[in-house]
Chains A and B, each alone.
Chain A
Amino acid sequence: MPEHGPSRGSELPEEVDMSAPVLGSSETLRIVPKARPVFRENVFADRAFRGVVLLCALAVLAMVGLIFFELVSQSRLSLSKFGFKFLVKQIWDPVAEDFGALPFIYGTVVSSLVGLVIAVPLSVGTALFLIEICPLRIRAILSLLVELLAAIPSVIYGLWGIFVLAPFIRVHVEPFLARYFGWTGLFEGPKYGWGMLAAGMIIAIMILPIIASITREVITAVPRVQREAALALGATKWEMLRIAVLRNARPGIFGAVILGLGRALGETMAVTMVIGNRPEIARSLFAPGYTLASAVANEFTEAVGNLYLSALMEMALVLFVITLIVNALAGLLVWSIARGKPSRALA
């Protein structure tokens, strides 16, 4: 959208151009500066207003910088003591003050991946259904339901996870998986109900809405002509969706998935409540685990000793950097599709 009117506020002639368009010759413009001192006040006020909102915009930039700065400065102790080994060590021993983040990074990545594996097909399916199949009347209701799913607080997902989902997994899901897929080594060991699998399922439910809503936006952006062309060539509806819609929307859907991943990595409360909180690396998804976010939330208020605090801060720093990269990547992908149009989906 082009800027209109006396945008800068600094060039007086433009003001006249607006108020007296009929006289638009350059002769008339030259008269203006003498005209009224009132204009000068307006110029000042315009600049001041612009300055104030510019400050607000700069505050957004400053916030991200501030977060990074505070995390680095608070984790200095741990950074200097452990260096890069912090990222690859498996030890987590507050008593001996020896810390390594590997089990937490592993838990974060694996639980998020489990979440994605479950959530991606479901959410892409939902988006396709909403746009391409669903009757108009149901569409409004269904999208409200998906929106509500996004509005449920993390801690309530956790509450539900502890008392409803985990027992369900223990009784129904885990025996089934162990019986038929136990040979993969991913589904074996004692069946608690809570653990990596439960965390992955909760994460899946929580990231469904965001992936679905962005996928939906991307699919809507695919030109109608593409669909009509495919149908005119005799494609069935599914073939049309595959050839015309999904293929065109692929980078955007990929962006939506990455954005979902960003959310999954940072999920805190619900994950803390169902993952079991044990810093171990196990192959089986039935085993308890720990994530960066849940460790920070769980141990930070109880941490004694500066090194312990600092190690937890460094974990937050690792989490921040990972999500920063993931979100930036997702942003670029989604933007490349819906260029110029601000994406509401992130809200």
Chain B
Amino acid sequence: MLKNLHTTSLRRRLSNWIALGSITLAALIVTVPLFLILGTVVVRGLGTFNWAFLTQIPKPIGEEGGGMGNAILGSVLLLGFASLIGVPLGIGAGIFLAEYGRNKFGNIVRFTADVLNGVPSVVIGMTAWALVVVPQGHFSLLSGSVALGIMMIPVISRTTEEVLLLVPQSIREAALGLGIPKWRTIISVVLRSASAGIVTSVMLAFARIAGESAPLMFTAFGNEFWSSNPNQPVAALPLQIYKYAIQPYEQAHAQAWTAALVLISMIVLTVVFVRFIVSRGVIRGAD
């Protein structure tokens, strides 16, 4: 009896299987480049990886050894200075969007933030060049941080907004009901219970800009030596990778792969860490 109910024609069943098969295949194909890239970076990068790579400055081509300690320091400094611009502005805009932005003006800001997020990083780099490098007269750590800081703003503001909206309305009402003014409620109650989520949004922004090289080419510029002066050019890992990759020497290529390994491990660790936090729930008292 049941068999007779199954009247789907062969043609339909066949096209069903073919379509579902191709969908599955597409998903499989997408993962291939990831494993290829990560695999290559690990295999080729581990070869010249050692302690000196993390602590020394580059040696001239032809000499063995040398490292990218200055580039690692430079990247960290760039991220640090960029956060001085990106984190307060981003979180502030996020608070505005979540707490005061449920209106037309909020939508305009939201839309602009998305547009800013889509502006190619190289264009932002040129803006920072015009804003900082031209008046200063030379490349600098500062100008690179301005470029990266601008890039952080939309990422942080949109994720902060999202996280703040996850904070239950009842918590806000409880605070307001106790006679706590709104600003105090936002700072001590809403932001506090969303703090893990906000940290997450900052980490996401770090992951996004840590690998940027295009906006740094004419702002931070690169440096062969140790430098932590905000007014001087500074080395950065992505820049160094690019510089070494386009040189015709095997030895430089090997260094580029190792730098790629260091950079990618930093970023992947950040992303996985963020995932871990998010999976544990970003809002206290939300469940």
* Chain A residues within CB distance 8 Å of chain B: 1-7, 9, 15, 18-19, 21, 42, 45-46, 48-50, 52-57, 59-61, 63-64, 66-67, 70-71, 73-74, 121-126, 128-130, 132-134, 142, 144-149, 151-160, 162-164, 205, 208, 212, 234, 236-239, 241-242, 259, 262-263, 265-269, 273, 293, 296-297, 300-301, 313, 316, 319-320, 323-324, 326-328, 330-331, 335, 342-344, 346-347
Q: Which residue of the partner chain, among A125, A154, A205, A331, contacts B22 with CB atoms under 8 Å?
A: A125
Query: With A and B bound together, what is the CA distance between A57 and B112 in angstroms?
Result: 10
Q: Which residues of A contact B218 (CB under 8 A)?
A: 300-301
Contact between A153 and B264, CB atoms less than 8 A apart: yes
The residue that A54 contacts in the complex, of B96, B158, B207, with Cβ under 8 A, is B96
Does B214 count as interface, using CB distance less than 8 angstroms? yes
Q: Do residues A129 and B263 form an inter-chain contact, with CB atoms below 8 A?
A: no
* CB contact between A328 and one of B115, B165, B169, B221 (< 8 Å): that residue: B115
Smallest CB–CB gap between B116 and chain A, Å? 5
Q: Which residues of B contact A234 (CB under 8 A)?
A: 8
Q: In the complex, what residue of chain B is closest to A324 when comparing beta carbons?
A: B115
Question: Interface residues of A: mostly helix, strand, loop or mixed?
Answer: helix
B212 at the A interface (CB under 8 A): yes
Excluding A63-B150, A122-B30, 13 further A-B contacts by CB distance (< 8 Å) are A3-B102, A9-B182, A57-B96, A71-B130, A73-B130, A129-B27, A156-B263, A158-B245, A160-B37, A238-B20, A319-B120, A342-B161, A346-B114
A145 to B275: give the CA distance in the assembly, Å: 12
Q: Would you call B122 and A266 a contact (CB within 8 A)?
A: yes
Chain A residues with CB under 8 Å of B123's CB are: 67, 71, 266, 293, 296, 316, 319-320, 323
Are A153 and B213 touching (Cβ within 8 A)? yes
Task: Offer 28 A-B interface pairs, CB within 8 angstroms, sorted by A.
Answer: A5-B182, A19-B177, A19-B178, A42-B181, A56-B92, A56-B95, A60-B89, A60-B109, A61-B112, A67-B127, A121-B26, A125-B27, A133-B24, A142-B27, A148-B34, A151-B271, A153-B267, A159-B245, A159-B256, A163-B245, A205-B33, A237-B16, A238-B15, A266-B118, A269-B213, A342-B161, A344-B162, A347-B117
A61 in complex: contacting residue of B13, B108, B242, CB < 8 Å = B108
**CA A130 – CA B23 in complex, angstroms?**
10
- 8 Å CB contact of A4 from B101, B130, B172: B172
A190 CB → nearest B CB, Å:
20
Do A5 and B162 touch (CB < 8 A)?
A: no
Q: Report B271 CB to chain A, min CB distance, Å.
A: 5
With beta carbons under 8 angstroms apart, the residue of A7, A42, A316 that contacts B122 is: A316
Most interface-central of B92, B118, B208 (chain A CB within 10 A): B118
Bound-state Cα–Cα, A52 to B207, Å: 27
The reply to whether A323 and B118 contact each other, CB–CB distance below 8 Å, is yes
Indicate the member of A56, A239, A296, A320 with the most B CB atoms within 10 Å. A56
B117 x A56 contact (CB < 8 A): no
Residues B25 and A125 in contact, CB atoms below 8 Å apart: yes
Interface string of B234-262 (1 = CB under 8 A from A): 00001001100110000001001100100
Tell me whether B97 and A57 are in contact (CB under 8 A).
Answer: yes
**Docked CA distance A21–B174 (Å):** 13
Decide if B130 touches A70 in the complex (CB within 8 Å). Answer: yes
In the bound complex, residues from chain B placing their C-beta under 8 Å from that of A142 are 27, 31
> Which of B41, B119, B256 sits near A67, CB closer than 8 Å?
B119
Instruction: Give the distance to chain A from B256, nearest Cβ to Cβ, in Å.
Output: 6
Residues of A near B73 (CB, < 8 A) are none
The A-contacting residues of B in range 37-78, CB under 8 angstroms, are: 37-38, 40-41
Q: Which residues from chain B sit less than 8 Å from chain A, CB to CB? A: 8, 12-13, 15-16, 19-20, 22-27, 29-31, 33-34, 36-38, 40-41, 88-93, 95-97, 99-102, 106, 108-124, 126-127, 129-131, 150, 153-155, 157-159, 161-162, 165, 169, 172-173, 176-179, 181-187, 204, 207-208, 210-214, 217-218, 221, 238, 241-242, 245-246, 253, 256-257, 260, 263-264, 267-268, 271-272, 275
Chain A residues with CB under 8 A of B41? 156, 160
The CA-CA distance from A61 to B101 in the complex, in Å, is 14
Cβ-defined contact, A49 with B115, below 8 A? no
- Closest residue on chain A to residue B134 by CB atoms: A74
Chain B residues with CB below 8 A from A159, complex form: 241, 245, 256-257, 260
Q: Which residues of B contact A263 (CB under 8 A)?
A: 118
Is B12 a contact of A56 with CB atoms below 8 Å?
A: no
Known: A46-B182, A152-B264, A297-B122. A64 touches B115 (CB 8 A): yes
Q: Which residue of B lies closest to A162 (CB)?
A: B245
Residue of B nearest to A39 (CB): B181
A282 to B102, alpha carbons, bound, how many Å?
50
- For A313, what are the chain B residues with a Cβ–Cβ distance below 8 Å? 126, 130
| B241 touching A342, Cβ below 8 Å | no
A9 to B181, CA, bound (A): 8
Q: How many Å lie between the Cα of A143 and that of B162 in the bound state?
A: 20
Which 5 pairs, one residue from A and one from B, show the smallest C-beta to C-beta distance? Answer: A153-B211, A266-B120, A125-B26, A56-B92, A49-B183
Asked whether A238 and B88 contact (CB < 8 A) given A5-B182, A63-B153, A148-B268, the answer is: no
Complex alpha-carbon distance, A323 and B118, angstroms = 7
